[in-house]
Structure 1
Amino acid sequence: MKRARVAVFGAIHDAVEVNGKLQLNDGRIVEQEHVVWLPPVEPQTVFTLGLNYADHAKELTFQAPEEPLVFLKGPNTLVGHLGQTKKPSDATHMHYECELAVVIGKYAKKVKKENAYDYVAGYTIANDYAIRDYLENYYRPNLRVKNRDTGTPIGPWLVDRDDIKDPMNLSLRTYVNGELKQQGNTKDMIFDIPSLIEYLSSFMTLYPGDVILTGTPEGVTKVNAGDEVISEIEGIGRLLNTIVSDDCFQR
C-alpha cells in the first residue's frame, strides 16, 4: 500500500493511494493535484549514510569507508513532494542525491542482520541535496553541507515493506529538467539495509519513525535555481522538487 501525509481542507491528513487518487483518513477522496504533499512520515531521528556506494565515493575522490559513515539530519531539512529547495546565492556546487529511505516500524535494539527487515515499516524516496561549497574538514564535514532548511525533499509515498519484494535490487534515477542525469541500483550499496540496522541498533535504540537514508550512487551534477529535479526509485514512485534562489525566501 502507498501511504502519504497531505494538507487539504484546512487540516493535515493521512491518506492512501486509491486508483490514482487519494483517500483521506476520514474517507473523502481527493485528486492528487488538489493537496499539499508533506513528508510521508513524521520522523524521529534521521540517519544519513555518506559514501555508501563505491562508485559515488570514487567520483568524489574519496576512499570507500570500511564501516558505515553516518551523520544525523534535523527535521528542518525535510520538505514534501512538489516542494521547493533553497539554493544559497554563494553556492556553486549544489548536488542532488537520490536515496532509498528506510523507515523503522518498531523499537529496535541489538538487532541481528537476519531479523532486520522485521523492524522496517516501509520505504520512501529522499533527495538529499549536498552543498559541497561548505565542506570543511574531516571533523566537521556535513553540518552546513547537509542540514540546511528545505535541503531534503522526501516522499511522496511511504510504501509498505511487504510491497517491495527486494529493496536491495531497485533501480534509482534522477532527472534534471527532464534529462536523465543519474542512475544506479541499490544492490551496489557497500552496506546493505540489514547491515545498517544491525550496526545502528548495536549501540543505540531505533524508534518507530526513525529514517535511514542509505546513500546515493554516482552521477551527481550541479543544479541551479529554476531546475526541476525528479528522483525516481523502482516500485516506490517519483519525487519532484524545484530549486529556488535565496531571493524567494528573503532571508
Structure 2
Amino acid sequence: MKLIRYGQPGEERPGLIDAEGVWRDLSDHVTDLTGEALSPDALAHLGALETSKLPLVPQGTRLGPPVSDPGKIVCIGLNYADHAAETGRPAPDEPMIFLKATSALSGPNDEIRIPRTSEKTDWEVELAVVIGTHAKYITDAQAMDHIAGFTVMNDVSERAFQNERGGQFTKGKSCDSFAPLGPWLVTKDDITDPQNLRLWTEVDGTMRQDGTTADMVHPVAKTVAYLSQFMALHPGDIIATGTPAGVGAGIRPDPVFLKPGQTVRIGIDGLGEQRCETVPD
C-alpha cells in the first residue's frame, strides 16, 4: 500500500494511491498519517478499504511528507563502505548516530532552500524507515515487526556547517527544507527485501549517486534494533539509513555543491522519486 499526504503545507490530508495509480482521499477513515495511525491494526484497516469508493484527490495537488509530526528523525552516518571511503574515513564498527530536526521536513517536490551563508550544500539519497509500533530493547529478528514502511529521504547537508563550524552535525543537517520526504510511504508488506533496492541521485541531469541498499554496512534490521538499545522508538519516528558514494563533497579533485537554480532528482526502487528545485533562502 502506498500512503500519501497531500495539500498545502500545514494543511495536508491523508490519502493513498490505488492499484491503478489514482490518488484517493482517506480523510473519512484516518485523521492523519502519524502515531497510532501507523500501527499494524490501523494499516490493516486502511488496506481493507474498497479503494474505488474513496474520493478522488484533485490532479496537480502538492504532495507533503507522507508522515506527519514524527517525534524524531534519527540518521545513520557512513553506513555505506563506498561513501565512508570517499570521505576518507573507515566504516564504523557500530552505527554512527545523529539527529536531524523535525522542522527540516518538507514535501518530496518542494524547494530546497540554500541557507544565506551556505558554501557547501550537498545531497544524500537515503532509504528512510518509518516506525509503526513502540520499540525498546528489541533484537534484530524482531525489528521488522516494529516497522510500518519505507520511504525516500534526501538528507540534505551543509558540509561547512557540519564539519567546519565546531560542535556536532546538527546544524549542518537541520536547516529548513533539508529533509524532503516521500513521495509516498510504502508499507513493509510491499517491500520484499529492503536490502535489495537501487537508490540514486541526479543533479541537473547528471547522475551523481547510483547504489544499492545491499551495500549497507549495518542493515535495516540491525540498525533499528541497535537504536532501540539507546532510545525508545515511537510510531511515526523516521530513521534515515545512510547514503551511498557520490555526494558532492566526495567528488575529486574538485567537490561540487548545490547552488540556487538547480534541479535535484532522487529515487529508490519501488518507493518513487523526488524532484526539487534549489532556491536562495
Q: 1:161 and 2:188 equivalent?
A: yes
Equivalent-residue separation in structure 2 for 1:122 and 1:203 (angstroms) = 22
RMSD: 1.8
Segment drifting more, 198-207 vs 102-111: 198-207
Number of aligned pairs? 244
Matching residue of 1:243:
278
Specify the SS of the correspondent of 2:259: coil
TM-score (norm 2): 0.82
Matching residue of 1:249:
none
Matching residue of 2:106:
79
Matching residue of 1:65:
92
Matching residue of 1:97:
124
| Mapping of residues 65-144 of structure 1, within 5 Å | 65-136=92-163, 140-144=167-171
Instruction: Give, as a single letter, the amino acid of the residue that structure 1 aligns with 2:24.
Output: Q
Equivalent-residue separation in structure 2 for 1:150 and 1:12 (angstroms) = 16
Percent of aligned pairs with the same amino acid: 39
| Conserved 8 A contact 1:79-1:152 | yes
Equivalent-residue separation in structure 2 for 1:169 and 1:200 (angstroms) = 22
Equivalent-residue separation in structure 2 for 1:20 and 1:83 (angstroms) = 21
Instruction: Give, as a single letter, the amino acid of the residue that structure 1 aligns with 2:72.
Output: T
Aligned residue among 51, 57, 65 for 1:39 = 65
Q: 1:4 and 2:31 equivalent?
A: no
Matching residue of 1:20:
21
Specify the SS of the correspondent of 1:135: helix
How far the C-alpha of 1:106 sits from its partner, in A, is 0.2
Aligned residue among 262, 266, 271 for 1:227 = 262
Matching residue of 2:252:
none
Q: 1:102 to 1:184 in 2, by over 3 A?
A: same
**Greater strand share, 1 or 2?**
1
| Conserved 8 A contact 1:81-1:155 | yes
Specify the SS of the correspondent of 1:83: coil
Instruction: Give, as a single letter, the amino acid of the residue that structure 1 aligns with 2:127.
Output: L
Equivalent-residue separation in structure 2 for 1:185 and 1:139 (angstroms) = 32
Which ranges of structure 1 fall in alignment gaps of 5 or more residues?
Answer: 247-251
Equivalent-residue separation in structure 1 for 2:99 and 2:239 (angstroms) = 10
